[in-house]
A and B are shown apart, each in its own frame.
Chain A
Amino acid sequence: MLVNNAMKRIYVNKKWCLGCRLCEYNCTYANSGAMNIITALKDKPLRSRIKVEEYDGDTLPLSCRHCEEPICVKSCIAGALSKVGGVIKINHNKCVGCCTCISVCPYGAIMHGEDGVMRKCELCIDNAFGAPACVAGCPNGAIVYEERD
Chain B
Amino acid sequence: MSINYVLPLFDVLRDPARCIKCRVCERQCANGVHSYDHELNLMLADEAKCVNCQRCVTLCPTRALAIRESENKMRANANWRESLIREIYKQADSGGVLLSSMGNPEDMPVYFDKILINASQVTNPSIDPLREPMETRVFLGKKNTPIKRTPDGRIIPETEPQLELSMPMMFSAMSYGSISYNAHESLARAAEELGILYNTGEGGLHQDFYKYSANTIVQVASGRFGVHKAYLEAGAAIEIKMGQGAKPGIGGHLPGSKITSDVSRARMIPEGTDAISPAPHHDIYSIEDLRQLVFSLKEATEYKKPVIVKVAAVHNIAAIASGIARSGADIIAIDGFRGGTGAAPTRTRDNVGIPIELALASVDSRLRDEGIRDHVSIVVGGSIRSSADVVKAIALGADACYIATAALLALGCHLCRSCQTGRCNWGIATQDPELTKRLNPDIGYRRLVNLMTAWNHEIMELMGGMGINSIEALKGNRLMLRGVGLNEKELEILGIKHAGE
Contact = CB atoms under 8 A, between A and B. Distances in A.
Interface stretch (A35-43, A71-79, A89-97, A105-113): A35-43
A20 B59 contact: yes
B20 A140 contact: no
Contact of B20 (A16, A18, A42): A42
Contact of A20 (B24, B62, B442): B24
A141 B443 CA distance: 7
Interface in A96-123: none
A18 B437 contact: yes
A141 B22 contact: no
A65 interface: no
Interface string A6-27: 0000000001101111100110
B27 A20 contact: yes
A33 interface: no
A137 interface: yes
A38 B27 contact: no
B18 interface: yes
Contacts of A137: 61
B22 A21 contact: yes
Contacts of A141: 440, 442-443
A15 B433 CA distance: 11
Interface string A40-70: 0111000000000000000000000000000
A18 B22 contact: no
Nearest to B433: A57
B61 A140 contact: no
Contacts of B28: 18, 20
Q: Which of A25, A139, A142 has the most CB of B within 10 A?
A: A139
A105 B27 CA distance: 29
Contacts of B440: 16, 140-142
A41 B20 contact: yes
Contacts of B20: 25, 37-38, 41-43
Interface string B52-64: 0000000101100
Interface string B432-446: 000001101011000
A139 B22 contact: no
A141 B17 CA distance: 29
Interface in B12-71: 17-18, 20, 22-24, 27-28, 59, 61-62
A80 to B, nearest CB: 30
B62 A37 contact: yes
A18 B17 CA distance: 27
Contacts of A18: 27-28, 437-438
A37 B59 CA distance: 14
Given A16-B437, A18-B437, A25 B27 contact: no
A21 B24 contact: yes
Given A38-B18, A140-B443, A15 B27 contact: no
Nearest to A40: B20
Q: Which of A15, A18, A25 has the most CB of B within 10 A?
A: A18
Contacts of B17: 38
Contacts of B27: 18-21
Nearest to B55: A139
Contacts of A139: 59
A38 to B, nearest CB: 5
Interface in B198-221: none
Contacts of B61: 22, 25-26, 29, 37, 137
A26 B22 CA distance: 11
B24 A140 contact: no
A15 B442 CA distance: 12
B117 to A, nearest CB: 38
Nearest to A24: B22
Interface in B154-178: none
Nearest to A38: B62
A22 B438 contact: no
Contacts of B59: 20, 22, 139
Nearest to B24: A20
Nearest to A16: B440
B212 to A, nearest CB: 20
A16 B437 CA distance: 6
Contact of A22 (B24, B437, B442, B443): B24
Contacts of A43: 20
Contacts of A29: 61
Nearest to B27: A20
Nearest to A137: B61
Interface in B439-492: 440, 442-443
Given A137-B61, A141-B443, A15 B24 contact: no
Contact of B22 (A19, A41, A140): A41
Nearest to A26: B61
Contacts of B437: 15-16, 18, 140
Q: Which of B18, B22, B437, B442 has the most CB of A within 10 A?
A: B22
**In the A-B complex, the 10 residue pairs with the closest CB atoms:** A41-B20, A16-B440, A141-B440, A140-B440, A25-B22, A38-B62, A141-B443, A20-B24, A42-B20, A20-B27
12 contacts: A18-B438, A22-B22, A22-B24, A22-B61, A29-B61, A38-B62, A41-B62, A139-B59, A141-B440, A141-B442, A141-B443, A142-B440
Given A16-B437, A20-B27, A20-B59, 8 more contacts: A21-B24, A25-B20, A41-B22, A42-B18, A43-B20, A137-B61, A140-B438, A142-B440
